[in-house]
Structure 1
Amino acid sequence: MPSSPNSPSSDDNTSEVGRLKRQVVALQDELEEARGSRTKRSETPVTRGRGIRRLITLFESLDGLIAEADTRILAEKDGVVRFRDQSELKRNADRTFESYELLLSLVPPFKTLIQTDADEDTFRQYTASLQKGANDARSDDVRRIKEEIAVWLNHNNPTATPLSPKSRDNRGLQNDVTGRLLCPIEHKWDDEKNRADMQNAVIDISQDFFITCLYKKGTADPSDVENGFLRSVLLLKTFCAVFTSPTSSEDLEEPEDDVPARKKRKTSSQKKATKTNVAGLLRMEGKVTPRAIAYAAVLLVFNLTDATQWTETYNGFNFRAFYNFIVDFFEDTPGAAAQRRANMLLTWWNSQVFQDQHAPTSSGLKASQDKLLAQRLQREQDN
């Protein structure tokens, strides 16, 4: 039946559907806030996107995550086996799909748009805003850590030529301080010939991800690469500067295996910060994640180089591969024993970063509880 002159056109209907779907998303946000399940602040797609690089994926685009999810759904529907012996390709696809699932969890309105089959324009606008927030946060963090590293290293190396907080120009392998930190544990920085060969690219170190700056006290045994890996104070400082606040990294010192790295405050009169930090805004709930560690590791290593701008590959070093390597160190272990070691490392990270939330039960508390219980049981018997 032909439409009357006053009946809505197809374009009008599409526009109205899009408006109603956006309204659904807005109402869901209001409901979450009323239930206390989100922080009481105005959140936009851009602000929601700021956690994507930090917790989900540092390099993948949202379009890439969506494409992998669509491909996987279609393959499963058609009974197609995508991978057989291509283990690396399969792991890349699995990692991407895991990022997609994390995205649905981190950004509930995005999941709503997926489930309600929003019109393409609405969906594109929303994902573009998420992508902008993700990249803006990464840019902010790269700049912040560039400045913080200069402060930390200048303080620890007072006799060396000071690093500029505003530029990475005098960093990299040509600088003795940053070069030492960028040196793989397989090589000896103090050996003059070794050092010169690395600086002149005679020795290619771009494929080695076991780097001195990631190890506890900057020392390691190449025959036991896991020992001390991802336990350096510089990595802890980088993580805290991003997720808990720059000031929270100031009282960190070189950690021992079972000793918190955070020094005790000398005075109890110091006020605690009332502003919610990034970890709180992202609802990390006192738990460090593998992808957050990988994010901090890339920020640290990148800002030790003399790269002039953010890039995925610099001097042959592939930061995307480096990021994926650390994620897989935790998430793609070869067996139960390796998974236990990875879990122990995460537990250690939790105790270092969120010390107050993971403090062990004191022996005094246990002793008092036992004494009280014994007396109560005795009185029960007496009565």
Structure 2
Amino acid sequence: MDRIHSNKKQHGLFDTLRELDPNLEEHLRDGEHTSDIAALIDAGRDGACSTDAQSLKKAILDWVHPDGGALIPPLPRDSRVGHRFAHVDTGRLLCPTHLDWDDAKIHKKLQNRTAVVTADQCPTFLYGDLTYDDDDPWEGLFRGQILVQTFKYIFTSPSSASKEGAQPTKPANALLHNMQSVTLASLVYVATQVRVALSSAAFFSKSHAEIKHFYDTMLNQPCDPAEEDEINELLTW
């Protein structure tokens, strides 16, 4: 079943690439440009990830406080020092859903790293109102406010992330790439960027094992056909 799911996933990715470039299949068929095409895709992906990560490092600090207020203590915009579990607000967002950030003992263990956080644990920022329902894990999933703002920042415009109806100063990524709907992959990409921006990681790279594991886990978790209704409802929302 895992192999079937993987094959369907790969075929879906190939179909998406063919939509972007109708001549792709012809170029691949002749075999002469395969390595060049792969190199261009890798370079484009890595460049986009790096650009988004660098830009978000500063922008995301305006959205961290739950009420939109100032961070106490303030966090530097040009450094990762003091992020992750060292700060009460970034720590609350990154805290795994199965742990209680308001529990002083849990708080301390996360800060001194005696509580191990793995890449396959869902951070609280994924959920609307930062609330996780153990009886219904889909309730509020991918609806966290900071996730929505980051999605707007990357795909529509930086100004739309902070002000409803604000006019962008340049064409949005969604428009440039003919992106007409939200996809599960785009949500997972944004979630990964948020995780990086809130943590002590300085960059988003495919070579970073923890980041790659988080992305792959988030993308592959909702693969049960029985969850199709929940996925469709999320994407419609």
Indicate which of 221, 224, 232 corresponds to 1:333.
224
Residues 266-292 of structure 1 deviation map (CA, whole Å, 9 limit, x = unaligned): xxxx8x44742110111112x111111
Q: Distance in 2 between matches of 1:156 and 1:198?
A: 24
Q: Distance in 2 between matches of 1:226 and 1:201?
A: 28
Letter of the 1:141 counterpart: D
Tell me whether 1:111 sits opposite 2:6 in the alignment. Answer: no
Alignment of 1:126-275 (within 5 A): 126-153=37-64, 156-251=68-163, 263=164, 272-273=167-168, 275=170
Letter of the 2:10 counterpart: T
Corresponding residue of 1:19: none
Shift of 1:159: 4.9
Indicate which of 229, 233, 237 corresponds to 1:344.
233
Where relative contact order (Cα < 8 A, 6+ residues apart) is larger, the structure is: 2
Indicate which of 189, 192, 197 corresponds to 1:298.
192
Q: Distance in 2 between matches of 1:311 and 1:127?
A: 17
CA RMSD of aligned residues (A): 2.5
Shift of 1:90: 4.9
Corresponding residue of 2:212: 320
Shift of 1:133: 1.9
Letter of the 1:300 counterpart: V
Residues 235-255 of structure 1 deviation map (CA, whole Å, 9 limit, x = unaligned): 01111111101001112xxxx
Shift of 1:185: 1.7
TM-score, reference length from structure 2:
0.87
Q: Distance in 1 between matches of 2:120 and 2:100?
A: 14
Q: Distance in 2 between matches of 1:312 and 1:118?
A: 26
Q: Distance in 2 between matches of 1:197 and 1:328?
A: 29
Q: Is the Cα contact below 8 Å between 1:169 and 1:307 reproduced in 2?
A: no
TM-score, reference length from structure 1:
0.56
Shift of 1:177: 1.2
Query: Counterpart of 1:306 in 2: which secondary structure?
Result: coil
Structure 1 residues 275 and 343: alpha-carbon distance in aligned structure 2, compared to 1, 3 A threshold:
same
Shift of 1:339: 1.0
Query: Counterpart of 2:195 in 1: which secondary structure?
Result: helix
Structure 1 residues 310 and 159: alpha-carbon distance in aligned structure 2, compared to 1, 3 A threshold:
closer
Give the gaps of 5 or more residues in structure 2. none
Give the gaps of 5 or more residues in structure 1. 1-86, 252-262, 349-383
Letter of the 1:325 counterpart: T
Residues 137-192 of structure 1 deviation map (CA, whole Å, 9 limit, x = unaligned): 11101111112112223682425122222222221112211111100121111111
Q: Distance in 2 between matches of 1:181 and 1:201?
A: 16
Query: Counterpart of 1:153 in 2: which secondary structure?
Result: coil
Counting aligned pairs with the same residue, the percent is: 28
* Count of matched residue pairs: 236
Q: Distance in 1 between matches of 2:168 and 2:114?
A: 49
